Structure 1
Amino acid sequence: RMKRSDVLPAAIAAGVDMFLFFNEMDEDFASMKQGYLDGKITKERLSDALHRILALKAHMGLHKKAKTELVPAKEQVHNIIGCKAHVEMQKEIADKAITLVKYKDKDVLPITPERYKRIMIVYVKGLSAPGLGSLLGAKKVTPAEELKNRLTEKGFDAFIYESPVEKMMKQMEAGEKPDINLYFAGKTPIKDFREN
């Protein structure tokens, strides 16, 4: 597995022209710059990427528009994002994007409560960072909770997998804090411990 500091310049060298989001902008920029200084990213590759990015912006006329036309004011975000047209577009994209990746049984479909009553949802989360959802005051229901609710409405016994760490964090948030944490790696059997 490659480190992020290696992945970024490798991606640019392989043909990615631009990153839309950063984990940490200064750190990611430094990784890309180091990739250039180390020769992983060539001057020609950067020039190609720059020309494609600028050509697309020119084609879209972005250089002729004021910033206020491109990025709505915070007060207007509610009227633009989440409007009826966008909600319909979101539904259409979601409907077309659902994929059953792979399952060991060939005849897994259709998935019905009669065939598969209990469904465990494993929620793979990305980085947790405040985003557009928090800006819009989005509801606190996660996508996994929404899926669980919908499956339950259809008659499934659906539940979300909770890792031991998540369980521990919930207990701590609820005030169930231990008096002391004891970590045991389990390399030596307990019977082998001796008092001094």
Structure 2
Amino acid sequence: MTGVAQALTVYKVSGTTETDNFYHNLTPVAATYNYGSITNNTLISQSADVATGGGIYSQAVFATSAKTRVQPIITIYGPVSNNTVAAKKYCAEGGVFLKGANVRFVNQPITDNKAIGAYFAHGGAVATHYSGGTDTYQGATYPYLVPAKVTFFATTGNDVSYTGNDIQAGEMNQFDEYGG
């Protein structure tokens, strides 16, 4: 039996900076998506109330065939390090932000990520949130509620350190959801 082997496509996100946006490096709409390293990325929001995902922002997507939101499967094969998200007005959420996504971290360190919020912050390294609400498609309204899911795969002999991640909040709760 013969076949064709297809190489795995892995995308790296490194050295990006953005200001005054709600999210940063939105994962493209796809059933599955593979990342290599996610390093040295920064999102600083001066005027938006919330800043999410200094490294990447992944979310559930509406599937027209199923008429519902579906949970994309995101796999991260590289280190997640030195990503910063900061909100000057209100809330900062995660070096990696997952909203209704299924994300798998495979044998990689997650180090030195920061979430800095003027009022509160959560998930210095990884912040999760369900995706809920309604979508309208062809005149009909479809409610949805999609949880986020995170899985860490670690095998013997691999550096899977989870250190140096931080949250800083000016006034309120400091949610340390996968914070560090």
Q: Which entry has the higher C-alpha Rg, 1 or 2?
A: 1
The answer to which structure has the higher strand fraction is: 2
The answer to which structure has the higher helix fraction is: 1
TM norm. shorter chain > 0.5? no
TM-score range, shorter chain: under 0.3
Q: Larger relative CO (CA 8 A, sep 6+): 1 or 2?
A: 2
